[in-house]
Amino acid sequence: MGLRSYIITRILLTIPTLLLLLSMVFLLMRVLPGDPVALHFEKKAEPETMEAMRRILGLDKPLWIQYVEYIGGLLDFNYFLKHGYPNLGKSMQTFEEVGGQIFSAFPATLELAIYSMIIASVLGILLGVISSKSYDSVLDHSLRGFGTITYAIPVFFLGLILQLIFGIYLQWFPIGLRIDPSVEPPVTVSGLYTIDSLIEGNLFKFFESLKALALPSLTLGIILSGMFIRLTRTNMLETLRLDFVTAAKARGLKDSTVTYGYALRNAFLPILTMMGLQFAMLLSGAILTETTFSWPGLGRYIFQRISFRDYTAIQGAVVMFGLFVTLVSLVVDILYAYFDPRIRL
């Protein structure tokens, strides 16, 4: 199978995956206990008023009609061209467009995921390589222990500790903000404050944005680094025992050249796969971190919507999560197939 055929096949497989995810979320949200209309009125409205609201929201229609209308809205191409995002319906609590709310909150989550992944991959790969080079030494055991402990620490616990130390006692970093309230946010281009600050040419805003990102991204980065330490160490140990590494050492090449130029490059494919999958999970699984730090991203948004049983908002957020995870997984598969032709056989 050629690379083009492989890519087309993987793209086609994403369609039923997303449809299955959407269908499961649609059904589960209506099976779970809780009435969005009752929660909207806090159970204080008259039954006639609540019934009228159900008709406005379409909750009085049969389930299959609600499902067909929802799918039809998602496939409305004219709506997408007009607004720049798919028709995900209106929130059952605020009556605003869910697509607009999601795409307003998503840049904060994306920015957090990017910097968390940078910290996790750099720290994890570097310590993993050091651990493999000092095999069975005190340093090796210490780094392995560090990797196990960091991966086992709950996100909210580490986040609270970092907030107490660096946010409250030392007051080095802000908490719950994307930028200091006294600083005007940069002009929105990408929605990522650090990128927009550089586009604007304002280094002060750039560093203020980095300060706000420091604690939440460090929390996620440290926890994820444990996985990368163990994965890098395992793959490096296998690679360092191969014949081509021995031959490179015999030719008198520098140890750093052999380690990073030969061994790490050949051990990197499994690490690349894990980086892609973890980045996708960061986009969809940062709910605890965003809630702990009051970070105004998509994870916190869906947490708030769940408490109100806001069907359309939760469905829209989960669909977008699924889309991002699928796209990142697709990119990782394509990169894997490109670097390792055996995958396409």
Cβ neighbors of 153 (< 8 A, separation 6 or more) are 222, 223
Cβ neighbors of 58 (< 8 A, separation 6 or more) are 66, 69
Q: Cα–Cα distance between 152 and 18 in angstroms, integer?
A: 31
Domain 101-307 indexed as CATH 3.40.80.10: no
Q: Cα–Cα distance between 218 and 215 in angstroms, integer?
A: 5
pLDDT digits (tens, 9 = 90+) for 97-140: 888 888 888 888 888 888 998 999 899 888 988 888 888 788 88
pLDDT digits (tens, 9 = 90+) for 220-272: 889 888 888 888 888 888 887 777 777 877 777 777 777 777 777 777 777 87
Angle between helices 193-200 and 98-133 (to 10 degrees): 100
243 against 162, higher pLDDT: 162
pLDDT digits (tens, 9 = 90+) for 78-93: 878 887 777 877 777 7
The token pair at 107 is 């840049």
DSSP state at residue 97: B
* Whole-model pTM over 0.85: no
pLDDT digits (tens, 9 = 90+) for 308-319: 777 778 878 877
pLDDT digits (tens, 9 = 90+) for 1-20: 566 776 777 777 777 877 88
Closest Cα partner for 183 from 207, 151, 147? 207
Average pLDDT, the chain: 80
Q: Where are the domains of the chain?
A: 22-98, 101-307
Q: Tell me the backbone φ, ψ of residue 310, rounded to 5 degrees.
A: -80, 90
Q: What is the pLDDT at residue 14?
A: 76
Q: Once rounded to an integer, what is the mean pLDDT over residues 274-278? A: 79
